[in-house]
Amino acid sequence: MKPTFQKYIPFKQINLPDRQWPNNVITKAPIWCSVDLRDGNQALIDPMNLEEKLEFFHALCDMGFKEIEIGFPSASETEYEICRELIEGGHIPDDVTIQVLVQAREHLIKKTFEAVRGAKNVIVHFYNSTSTLQRKVVFNTDMQGVIDIAVKGAELIRKLTDEYEGDTNFRFEYSPESFSGTEPDNAVVICEKVMETLGCTKENPIILNLPNTVEMCTANTYADQVEYFIRHLPNREAAIISIHPHNDRGCGVAATELALLAGAERVEGTLFGNGERTGNLDIVTVGLNMFTQGVDPQLDFSDLPKYKEIYERCTNMKIGERQPYIGELVFTAFSGSHQDAINKGTKYMRESNSDYWEVPYLPIDPADVGRQYEPIIRINSQSGKGGAAFVLNHYFGYDLPKKMHPEFGRLVQSECERLGRELVSKELFDLFEKNYLLHDRKYEIVGHPTITEDKNDENKLKIECIFRTNGDVPVDTKISGVGNGPIDAFFNAIKSIGIDCYEFISYSQHAISAGSDSKAVSYIELKKPDGSSIFGVGVSSNIYRSSIFGVINAINRAQD
């Protein structure tokens, strides 16, 4: 018995040894055509109603689409009525062309012309299936049979256009449906016959749409098919080459990009890839891929969360957490090394004032798609020391010195493991506050320490304070000390009561808020008797006091 995989027939490659598309570069946006209201809509469990379709249509217009396939008005009374409402209700901007799909069948074509009466700009998109497999198992006909269907449809469309009374600007689109499964030479012949029938010219070109209706091959082979078609099409200047990729192999975006390299000028797809089976091409992903390469996609993606909300509400579909550019987690780093690199990248951007986006692991600035208020770094047990420091700085203003990152990182990792989940930013700050600012206090200063210049040496400071040792019965002691600065003076003061086993290592400080209510934050590193180091943090409106509080907090933490 043969293995099950052997029942599948490998796709036949195109003989194109001198292919040119691998050497090309995408330098401009294609013509975009949204098929959300037709191809996307027909794939929904519950198709959109009139109000939902109208809202979605206006959203597409706001985003910048100039060509929108609104439906299949000859397919049902509902589709017909939606088409009429768009026209009669004045919903279509003058610079937007509506596109209507119709099979190359006489009664459906006539119904379609009735449906679009009164519209300013219309693309009549007709099609019939041409693939080897469909000719064999669906239509039981040869290639000449499907050519005859297409030509007959084109003849009727031309006749109805010539007889049409009104100011509608008609354009035509033909799809050899299942192009990717059609022999390349046959695809060329049927499109040539349709162009001849419609009398297409350079001044009045047809849109020839080459659907990857079912993704049957690797993306490079689809590009070969498109390039082969373009090379062999007679009267090439009288056609706009369009593509309509699906995503059955998960390569719809790649197939689109390579087909554009191969010469395609127009792309049909949907927002976020909605469509039959595994979906249509995701226009948002392709457009933003161009954006990240410095190419203007000619669509407005600056508020993707808005369009995500409209999409999910109107379609009852959900966008995955890892969907490129819009998924909840696509700008989020859990990995420690990633977090550290992002932290350094954002710091570099601030300090360098670079004109370019240069942050590792983030191919696009989240702010450019309306995601600036969402967390870039989230903290779990896999997170590193830099991630926790980034969150404290980004959300709460605490810029921990680099030497402190490992110590706090260990506390965060331990807490995540204890809870068995990630920490949200508020929980992270609570952990920081508990360990560094509100730690159990064996020692504390009662009231405020007095810091003055030493009478005997104006270059030195003198500190006086009430020092409390907490126990069953708290003991208050008045202490004083003189030193080169507040930290040195405080160390000399506590030595007088026997606290002399800690060595000062490092100190850093910054303001935590701007204006008259700003406070100083001091980070103090001490060496413990066993040779290891420990940090304390002090906060005060007085710069000297904040450093003294940092020393006290470090000593208290060392008592654990």
CA distance 62 to 65: 8
Cα three-residue angle 229-234-235, rounded to 5 degrees: 120
CA distance 200 to 190: 14
Q: Please list, in sequence order, all residues whose beta carbon lies within 8 angstroms of the beta carbon of residue 432, skipping any fewer than 6 positions away.
A: 392, 396, 398, 408
pLDDT value of residue 109: 96
Q: Please list, in sequence order, all residues whose beta carbon lies within 8 angstroms of the beta carbon of residue 360, skipping any fewer than 6 positions away.
A: 338, 341, 342, 344, 345
CA distance 493 to 478: 9
CA distance 200 to 178: 23
Q: Please list, in sequence order, all residues whose beta carbon lies within 8 angstroms of the beta carbon of residue 129, skipping any fewer than 6 positions away.
A: 135, 138, 139, 146, 176, 177, 178
Which segment of 23-37, 124-138, 270-284 scores lowest on mean pLDDT? 124-138
pLDDT value of residue 60: 98
Q: Is 143 exposed, middle or buried (0-12, 13-18, 19+ CB in 10 A)?
A: middle
Say if residue 516's pLDDT is above 70: no
pLDDT value of residue 383: 66
- Do residues 116 and 73 lie in contact, with contact meaning Cβ atoms separated by under 8 Å? yes
Alpha-helix residue ranges (DSSP H) falling in 106-213: 106-115, 132-137, 143-163, 184-198
3-state secondary structure of 350: helix
pLDDT value of residue 380: 65
Alpha-helix residue ranges (DSSP H) falling in 164-240: 184-198, 219-232
Confidence (pTM) = 0.77
- Do residues 509 and 545 lie in contact, with contact meaning Cβ atoms separated by under 8 Å? no
Tell me what the pLDDT averaged over the chain comes to. Answer: 90
- Do residues 366 and 356 lie in contact, with contact meaning Cβ atoms separated by under 8 Å? no
Instruction: For residue 204, give both structure tokens.
Output: 């009045």
Torsion of the alpha carbons at 224, 129, 257 and 40, rounded to the nearest 10? -170
Q: Which residues pair with 384 in a beta bridge?
A: none
Q: Is 95 exposed, middle or buried (0-12, 13-18, 19+ CB in 10 A)?
A: exposed
Average pLDDT, integer, range 267-290? 96
Q: Which residues pair with 172 in a beta bridge?
A: 124
Q: Which residue is listed with tokens 């208020």? A: 373
For residue 65, what pLDDT band results from cuts at 50, 70 and 90? very high
**Which comes out higher in pLDDT, residue 371 or 31?**
31
User: First vs last Cα of the chain: how many Å apart?
Assistant: 70
CA distance 245 to 556: 65
Secondary structure (DSSP) of 364-415: S-GGGGT-TTS-SB-B-TT--HHHHHHHHHHHH-----GGGHHHHHHHHHHH
pLDDT value of residue 130: 85
For residue 13, what pLDDT band results from cuts at 50, 70 and 90? confident
Average pLDDT, integer, range 176-189? 92
**Which comes out higher in pLDDT, residue 334 or 354?**
354
Average pLDDT, integer, range 464-487? 88
**Which comes out higher in pLDDT, residue 194 or 137?**
194
CA distance 417 to 63: 44
Q: What is the 3-state secondary structure (H, E, C) of 432-464?
A: HHHHHHCCCCCEEEEEEEEEEEECCEEEEEEEE
pLDDT value of residue 287: 98
Domains and CATH numbers, the chain: 28-315 (3.20.20.70), 336-436 (no CATH), 443-558 (3.30.160.270)
> At 269, which helix (H) or strand (E)?
strand 266-269
CA distance 549 to 527: 17
pLDDT in tens, 219-274: 999 999 999 999 999 999 999 999 999 999 999 999 999 999 999 999 999 999 99
Hey, how many other C-beta atoms are within 10 angstroms of the C-beta on 100?
Answer: 24
